Structure 1
Amino acid sequence: ILKESLRQITENIEKANTYNAEAVCIHPGHYSPLSIHFKEKAHTVHIQSLKKLTRKAEECNVSLGIENMPYFPILCARTPEEVKKILSEVDSDSLGFTFDVGHANITGNVHQFLTLKEYITTVHLHDNHGDQDAHRALGEGTVPLDVIKGLTKKKLIIEVNMYPDALKSLKVLKTLF
């Protein structure tokens, strides 16, 4: 699975370069039923994999953004501390942070993620009630919208399921700026 995942992400980095895209968002991975019992080893493999990917990103003049994940025990990068540790250990200018406010709302640490503001390259915007990754329109859940105000210089991406929700979210964004 690892080999194929790396192949696919590498291919996406190359395609991003072909299309002059600036960034590729990466979900940071998860523990398998086996690796969850060997978290240190799994973490080491994860960091080695990200280092390979950042080298490819540098070659292709593309940046990578590691995305924070919602709460689920097998997922990595659910807290600011976990994201910071990954960024520090990979230590590449090609790797930044994709801040997903909806995911942070589920883990209950939206404001704490602002401690990583200097690493944030992209922000994924959607709303929920803190219990599931619903990808609702902004304003239809409990995501604290004040957090978005401080991120106006970042790339903002509305990540909702339905086109009308994108329009609603855009209206909410316009009231914030």
Structure 2
Amino acid sequence: MSWIGISSKALSRLDEIEEAINYGFSGLELMSEGDQSIEIVFDKLKEIKSSFEIEITVHAPYRGVNPASPSEQKTCLRTWRKVAELSSEISDYLVLHPGRVANPNFREDHLRVSLDTFSSIRKELEDLGINGLVENLPKSKRNLGWSPSEIKEFLSLGFDLALDLGHANTHRLEEFLSLKPLEIHLHDNNGKEDEHLPLGKGTLELGILRKFKRVPWIIESRNLREGMESFDVLIELGLIG
């Protein structure tokens, strides 16, 4: 992989990134939510990036932000724009969720709203020098973007892909392997639910990572210890040096 990072969701404090870097991680994906919202931690992130010379990507918030809801579309775009403007100073990538479906009977309508939301911000991201990445979600009648067919609709707008292999493992993982992601998200499960287990604790076939050696890998774990555990599994399998 070009580099391997850990999601800030695994860190109770951003200063734990020093421990993660010392362990071997070379990057961080900021989940811009709560007390780790980019507006709050921006100066700290710039300092971390400079001090440790690490790579940083940013994941836009998704709790309370739904691009697939007509009533939330304007709020979603305002939030994304604010995050994108700050992200452009520290990151090349901004990861976005496709959104949630309020009523599965109107799934196609929600998909069209989400595509319109994504389309509305694409040029702004381009002007900021940011690659907008759509992330595939776990299989659920309430989630958009858990199937390759829906993800391809977002890619057709000019977005790139953050391929979450844990999420893909809840559908039919092999159907995602022909896609060309710019980033990989890593966590494990038993193929039915989005459990975010350490790597090796579920059914995710880790050997497929060899197909994605040229893009960043982000370990998404519930805490730093489990992130390190997943890191060790990748070493044991010879997937990282």
| TM-score normalised by length of structure 1 | 0.88
Query: What does the per-residue CA deviation read over 1:131-173, in whole Å, with 9 as the maximum and x for residues that have no partner?
Result: 2211111111110111112111111000010211111111122
For 1:138 and 1:43, how far apart are their aligned partners in 2? 31
The equivalences for 1:1-177 within 5 A come to 1-18=72-89, 20-33=90-103, 36-88=104-156, 90=157, 92=158, 95-107=159-171, 109-117=172-180, 120-174=181-235, 175-177=238-240
Taking the aligned partners of 2:185 and 2:179, their CA distance within structure 1 comes to 15
Q: For residues 40-83 of structure 1, give each alpha carbon's deviation from its aligned partner in whole angstroms, at most 9, with x where no partner exists.
A: 43332222211112111111101111011111102111111111
Contact kept? 1:111, 1:147, Cα under 8 Å: no
**Which residue identity does 1:17 align to in structure 2?**
S
Question: Identity over aligned residues, as a percent?
Answer: 29
Q: Distance in 2 between matches of 1:70 and 1:127?
A: 12
Aligned-residue offset at 1:86: 2.2
> Residues 38 and 131 from structure 1, CA distance in 2 versus in 1: closer, same or farther, beyond 3 angstroms?
closer
Query: What amino acid is the match of 2:226?
Result: D
Determine the C-alpha separation between the residues in 2 that align with 1:112 and 1:40. Answer: 21
* Matched residue count: 167
The answer on whether the counterparts of 1:80 and 1:115 sit within 8 Å (CA) in structure 2 is: no
Q: Where does the alignment leave 5 or more consecutive residues of structure 1 unmatched?
A: none
In 2 relative to 1, CA 132–42 (structure 1 residues): closer, same or farther, beyond 3 Å?
closer
C-alpha distance in 2 between matches for 1:44 and 1:112: 23
Equivalent-residue separation in structure 1 for 2:174 and 2:194 (angstroms): 18
| Deviation (angstroms), 1:38 | 3.5
Structure with more relative contact order (C-alpha pairs < 8 Å, separation 6 or more): 2
